[in-house]
Structure 1
Amino acid sequence: MDFPVHIPFVEQLGLQLVRLDEGESELHLSVQERHLNSWRVAHGGVLMTLLDVAMAHAARSVHRHLPEMGPGVVTVEMKTSFMRPGEGELRAIGRLLHRSTTMAFCEAQVVAPDGKLCAHATGTFKYLRALPGRDRAVKPLASRAAQADG
């Protein structure tokens, strides 16, 4: 399944969107050499990205019925706990716990191939239609349709 928006960093890492349901998402990652830290296991930043993207997509999933899935989200805060090294085929499951019109509160976990928990996170996300960038220029969400046209 394609990600609903174009996210170059996520594509570069090789994350795969497997499921996007009402309030839930699931991503997979096959850990490769490029994902490793000096211990030869998945770098914590890779696990945090998996958790962040899983939560963000869980937050957005409730707007699946809207054109281009409605507003995008930005991470406001995130707390991560690491339990064990990430190796092999990892699964990240994100869940929307609560939302308002402007905020989403989520959790996610990364699970190893044996089903054991590698990492857990909670996060707060803000729903946005556009993002003010450098010199206050407005940056629209990079939709899949815009990527295909460009």
Structure 2
Amino acid sequence: MMKLKFPVHIPFVEQLGFELHSMGGGLAELRVDLNEGHLNSWEVAHGGVLMTLLDVAMAHAARSVHMDLPGMGPGVVTIEMKTSFMRPGEGCLRAVGKLLHRSTTMAFTEGSVFGDDGKLCAHATATFKYLKALPGQRRSLKTLQRKEPAP
């Protein structure tokens, strides 16, 4: 399956080696081929890697309904997230995010991470807020770091 460019620059996600494989219609799929830097002391995927994979998959599912808007419309920030871990993540992991419901300001999502064997490793639900800018230190507005459009 061909990987896509992420629509926004997310240095942490790039450092983790996550790949975007599909995005549209309220769905998104990401993958990561685990390496030693992703592992915990049990030599399986660290829970933080799984949670980040879920967070990013669900966020992209929430944003996918705005793909027709300039710059893909507003960005999203995580308001809350609940994660359940079922089994260790090993090898190449696949995360699927799904938008369940949205309003003008909020997105309600769910996500699942599957292992090499196709079995469910982790599941999450999350709520995101759609934002055009994010107030930073001293209340300065931070804009979304968008990728340049492909020629």
Same fold (TM over 0.5): yes
Counterpart Cα distance in 1 of 2:22 and 2:75: 18
After superposition, the CA RMSD in angstroms is 1.2
- 1:129 lines up with 2:149 in the alignment: no
- 1:113 lines up with 2:116 in the alignment: yes
Counterpart Cα distance in 2 of 1:145 and 1:23: 23
Q: Secondary structure at the match of 2:61?
A: helix
- 1:59 lines up with 2:58 in the alignment: no
Deviation at 1:21, TM superposition (A): 1.4
Match for 2:22 among 19, 23, 32?
19
Name the structure 1 match of 2:72.
69
- 1:43 lines up with 2:23 in the alignment: no
Counterpart Cα distance in 2 of 1:68 and 1:114: 36
Q: TM-score, normalised by structure 1?
A: 0.96
Deviation at 1:68, TM superposition (A): 1.1
Counterpart Cα distance in 2 of 1:72 and 1:79: 21
Q: Secondary structure at the match of 1:145?
A: coil
Q: Secondary structure at the match of 1:62?
A: helix
Counterpart Cα distance in 1 of 2:130 and 2:106: 6
Counterpart Cα distance in 1 of 2:47 and 2:34: 12
Name the structure 2 match of 1:144.
147
Counterpart Cα distance in 2 of 1:68 and 1:53: 18
Residue deviations 1:93-129, cap 9 Å, x none?
0000000000000000000111100000000000000
Counterpart Cα distance in 2 of 1:144 and 1:97: 26
Q: TM-score, normalised by structure 2?
A: 0.96
Deviation at 1:145, TM superposition (A): 2.1
Structure 1 regions of 5+ residues with no counterpart?
A: none
AA in 2 matched with 1:60: R
Counterpart Cα distance in 2 of 1:26 and 1:69: 17
Identity %: 71
AA in 1 matched with 2:54: L
Counterpart Cα distance in 1 of 2:101 and 2:68: 19
Moved over 3 A (4+): none
